[in-house]
Structure 1
Amino acid sequence: NELFFKELNIPQPAINFNLQHASANQFIGMAADALQEYFSKEKDAVVFVYGDTNTTLAAAIAAKRVNIPLIHFEAGVRTNDTGMPEEINRLLTDRLADINYCCTQKNLHQLTAEGYGTAIASTPVLTGDLMLDAFLQIEPGQLDHKLPPEYVVCTIHRAANLQSKKNLGNIIEGLNALHKAIAVVMPVHPHTKNKIEAYGLSPNFTTLPPLGYPQMKKLLQHCSYVITDSGGTSREAYFMQKKSLIMMDKPFWPEIIDAGCAVQTNTDDILKNSSLLEALNPDFTTAIFGNGKAAQNIHLHLKKYFDINR
């Protein structure tokens, strides 16, 4: 996290609660309590939450407990799988928010179909994706690692792919097999690294330490395609006009698959489904995530919204 603050010139947080917890539920409760106390001291405040993390939900709960306007960005994403912690966080945060900003038309349609803006007194708005704004503004960095002339980028971090030796073993086995045909390069998340070592798995492909955002953009810039279980990386691959293989049973952004830019895969079908990417006829011109002006759209809407609701 410190790397991102430094490289992207992000101001340090005003406060760090340093919460210690044993479970996700404990963390959400403790974070909500701490944030509620902090928010209660603020006057004329607005709480802006992003995405679907446990912190997102904790802040949403805290904001509503002290009656502070709540704005949720990246709203309306649905997998219809409440076995995923992210799905629970999204559903609850969307429901609590006064304004729900949506990255895609599909997200907006989802919320309106659920009654947002009519039966549910929350305003859904299509803005485009802030991640695209950042992607367009941040230049690729320099890599300290020599790369092969042709390679595939892979990222793995999702709990569903790490929670058993079988799942992660299938992934490593598939990547090892793919590496014989085309080089595989994987920046390794610390938790993923720990699991690989704990399960006694042996990657035969190139592994890198975690990369900063500019370095990751550089890595994506020159790759042949991307294999990932990350909603963020699958979007970045789309922004970079790279095909991707998405290792999720229910991808967060099916719009990318619908545009012919990605293929969904299970953990035991990586090698087979990688070959399907060659047959894709991707359409990267559909502007699924907007035009890189999400921040401007949000600013204009917020100004109008609070002028009306003063």
Structure 2
Amino acid sequence: MKILTIIGARPQFIKAAPVSRVLRKHMEEKIIHTGQHYDANMSDIFFEELHIPKPDYHLGVGSGNHGKQTGEMMAKIEDIVLSEKPDYLMVYGDTNSTLAGALVAAKLHVPVIHIEAGLRSFNKKMPEEINRIMTDHVSEFLFCPTDTAVTNLDNENITHNVFNIGDVMYDAVLYNRELANEKSTILEDAGLTAKKYHLITIHRAENTDDIEKMKNILDAFSKIEDVKVWPIHPRTKHKLADYGLNLDDVPNIKVIDPVGYLDMLTLEANAKKIVTDSGGVQKEAYFMKVPCVTIREQTEWVETLEGEANILTGTDTGKILAAVQKEVSPQYKEVFGDGQASEKIVELIKK
């Protein structure tokens, strides 16, 4: 059996690593890297650290508007699918790479496997929400990370070949956490003390494309007295420069280049709190049992909101500041599976 796997962005590299590790013991896999994330710090280092097999195809699409980027991916993926003739095409998550692969496969009658199916923020202004919905509706196998995701699909009358297998990102964290402890020197390199800093990540277009929102966010950061470390996404860095917003005006902030997966796990595990707009970082915070503040109005990971493990603030300066300063004692539950999602996926595909 031949599986063609589409990946293109940092979160997909993390999700694909544990699945490919198990998958290749039982069947043939070919990997297409779309090049959606092309910066070395956002791409190459993840393949090296996570021991992901070298992509069989690298499309080099790069950044661009949604239509142009997705269209270029589709044209190039279609040629490969026609050549490789896979039994299944596998996609992860909710990026333009996900949608491009799913649409091509569906039109060529290649069954689509969607890993991380069923997520909904119920905000269609988010491009990721459109990608999720479209991908789920053309998929043959839908592997969900939570019971909530299964319910979301049921509400859209998607019930065939829907499985809650847990979260493959949890597999990745469990597998790599000890390795991160052994190998990462990021705390020393950045001059950080465990539990004495806040970790920041901001990259979503709904925030970065709006100068007023970014002003509010930076205003909140300026009022947080604790040390803050921000591995800044290249896109965010460019947007701040375009807006004339200077991070030098934010006290006690350490702005660093994007980091690899092992360094990111170390930064997350040792943070006092995590402040983010990333779906993946919200989950990793939950896995690490570190309180999280999410600068969004909605989240697809509703499980993390229970017991104030994660607090939604939107981009209101006062709400961000209050959430960061609030003392919380969240209780964490095993809602993301048992760390064996990859094995379950492969067994179900075999059956």
What's the TM-score, normalizing by structure 1? 0.91
Query: Of 203, 220, 236, which aligns to 1:157?
Result: 203
8 Å CA contact retained: 2:204, 2:277: yes
The gaps in structure 2 that reach 5 residues or longer are 1-42
8 Å CA contact retained: 1:29, 1:58: yes
Would you tell me which structure has more helix in proportion to its own residues?
2
Distance 1:20 1:237 in 2: 29
* 2:119 aligned residue: 77
Please state whether the residue corresponding to 1:41 is helix, strand or coil.
Answer: helix
Structure-to-structure mapping, 1:1-310, within 5 angstroms: 1-19=43-61, 22-117=64-159, 122-138=160-176, 139-140=179-180, 141-143=184-186, 144-149=189-194, 150-178=196-224, 180=225, 182-203=226-247, 204=250, 205-268=253-316, 269-276=319-326, 278=327, 280-284=328-332, 286-304=333-351
Distance 2:157 2:242 in 1: 46
CA 1:243/1:21 → structure 2, altered by over 3 Å: closer, same or farther? closer
| Count of residues paired in the alignment | 295
Please state whether the residue corresponding to 1:12 is helix, strand or coil.
Answer: coil
Q: Deviations over 1:21-63 (max 9, x none)?
A: 7421122222112211211122352101000000100000111
Identity, % of aligned positions: 34
8 Å CA contact retained: 1:249, 1:266: yes
Please state whether the residue corresponding to 2:190 is helix, strand or coil.
Answer: coil
Please state whether the residue corresponding to 2:110 is helix, strand or coil.
Answer: coil
Distance 2:329 2:282 in 1: 17
TM superposition shift of 1:259: 4.1
Distance 1:186 1:7 in 2: 21
TM superposition shift of 1:289: 0.9
Distance 2:100 2:139 in 1: 12
Please state whether the residue corresponding to 2:336 is helix, strand or coil.
Answer: coil
CA 1:188/1:73 → structure 2, altered by over 3 Å: closer, same or farther? same
8 Å CA contact retained: 2:111, 2:139: yes
Instruction: Give, as a single letter, the amino acid of the residue that structure 2 aligns with 1:291.
Output: D
Distance 1:95 1:62 in 2: 13
Q: Deviations over 1:170-223 (max 9, x none)?
A: 111111110x2x211111111111122222223221111111000011111211
Distance 1:57 1:242 in 2: 32
Distance 1:130 1:20 in 2: 26
Distance 2:310 2:92 in 1: 25
The gaps in structure 1 that reach 5 residues or longer are 305-310
Please state whether the residue corresponding to 1:153 is helix, strand or coil.
Answer: strand
CA 1:259/1:302 → structure 2, altered by over 3 Å: closer, same or farther? farther
CA 1:22/1:263 → structure 2, altered by over 3 Å: closer, same or farther? closer
8 Å CA contact retained: 2:273, 2:324: no
What's the TM-score, normalizing by structure 2? 0.81
Distance 2:65 2:285 in 1: 32
CA 1:265/1:115 → structure 2, altered by over 3 Å: closer, same or farther? same
TM superposition shift of 1:20: 6.4
Distance 1:159 1:190 in 2: 12
Please state whether the residue corresponding to 2:236 is helix, strand or coil.
Answer: helix
Instruction: Give, as a single letter, the amino acid of the residue that structure 2 aligns with 1:56.
Output: T
Instruction: Give, as a single letter, the amino acid of the residue that structure 2 aligns with 1:249.
Output: E
Please state whether the residue corresponding to 1:242 is helix, strand or coil.
Answer: coil
